[in-house]
Amino acid sequence: MLRVAGGVLAAAAICLVFFLAKEWLYDTDLFRLTRVEIHGNRHVNQDMILKTCNLRAGINLLSLDTDQLQGNIESMDWVRTARVVRELPDKLVINIKEYRPVALVNGNGLYLVNINGKIFKKLRGDEHYDLPIITGVDPRDVESGELPKYAMSALRLIKMASNGARTLGTGNISEIHVSGGNRLVVYTLDRGIAMRMDASKLKQQFARAEKVLLHLYRSGLYKKAARVDLAYSEGTAWASVN
């Protein structure tokens, strides 16, 4: 019994030492926060990050829950991932990776979407981005935060257009309208030419669209072109000029 009692007292003493040590670490001026470094934030305001995390000079660095801080930052618009690291004795380092928008989605307002279909921010009235607009998406699907499968073909087309396209690059796409039955209608930025495509054969029809536009340019008919149907029949395209 004496041995048991001695063991209990020893365990209690160890716990007390750890408790007092923890209290000292949390109370000492040695680990007071004096510096915060934030990297990778192009769109997210630094002051907003500090406010969201409730970071202020003098807070004890060891008392911070870095997992919770990361979660708070990742809940902000534009932030894809965040990593928060303590650098003792007095510095906190925050590394941020932001979403890169490739298009806008129309659905009860305009939203930014990345190449993987993540809808991550609704635009304010004073914000403007020169990006293709995806239309025809059900607003209820937009609110889910993910572009629905039936609209993912628009992103595949944007990816093709960004890979060195000559005549139908992303700078010459104003709108991509998605509809049922694997149909896409792409509108050029400079002339508003409607180009109808079959999403199930997008790679072949995009390459054909490049050739058709190049021919219209060289023939002098581009300014008269109104519509191009790339899904007219197998291996052919149909163009309408005014």
Which stretches of 93-166 are DSSP H helices? 139-142, 152-161
C-alpha closest to that of 195 among 182, 177, 181: 177
- Tell me the residue type at 233: S
* Distance (Å, whole) CA 223 – CA 11: 87
Task: Record the tokens describing residue 188, joined without a space.
Answer: 């050029």
User: What are the structural domains of the chain?
Assistant: 14-98 (3.10.20.310), 101-241 (3.40.50.11690)
Give the model's pLDDT for residue 166.
84
Write down the pTM of the prediction: 0.82
Name residues of the chain where pLDDT drops below 70: 1-29, 235
What does pLDDT average to over the chain?
A: 88
Taking only the tens place, the pLDDT of each residue in 223-237 is 999 999 987 777 678
C-alpha closest to that of 154 among 119, 121, 190: 119
**CA quadruple 101, 104, 110, 116: dihedral sign:** negative
